[in-house]
């Protein structure tokens, strides 16, 4: 699968805190995948990131999981930003 991918670009569109201390995050974003043949495709994704507060100025991602890629047959975005159809 990855042999067909030349590059990927992730863009975070929204971030939501999933707990009171703001270290459990839900992100809504888009990833543009450039195939080796030059064909770009953009898909939405919703990952969860849990941050470990390891001290001042040194937060680290403890857990990262993509929860919801947009369904292939879906024509509606997860988040309507008005910038894409």
pLDDT score at 75: 57
| Statement: the pTM of the whole predicted model exceeds 0.85 | no
φ, ψ dihedrals at 3, nearest 5°: -65, -25
Domain range for residue 38? 2-69
pLDDT in the model for residue 85: 40
Q: Give me the CATH number covering residue 45.
A: 3.10.450.50
83 band by pLDDT with thresholds 50, 70 and 90: very low
**Structural domain includes residue 77:** no
Please report whether residue 79 resides in a domain.
no
- Does 81 fall in a domain? no
Give the total number of structural domains in the chain: 1
18: in domain: yes
Judge whether 60 lies within some domain: yes
Q: Tens of pLDDT along 14-73? A: 999 988 888 999 999 998 999 999 999 998 889 999 999 777 888 899 999 887 765 555
């Amino acid at each position: 699968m990855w042999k067909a991918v030349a590059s990927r670009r992730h863009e975070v569109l929204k971030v939501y805190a999933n707990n009171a201390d703001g270290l459990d995050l839900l992100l809504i974003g888009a990833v543009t995948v450039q195939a080796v043949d030059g064909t770009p495709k953009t898909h939405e994704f919703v990952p969860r990131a849990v941050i470990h507060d390891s001290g001042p100025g040194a937060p680290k991602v403890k857990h990262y999981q993509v929860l919801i890629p947009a369904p292939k047959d879906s024509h509606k975005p997860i988040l309507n930003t008005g910038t894409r159809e």
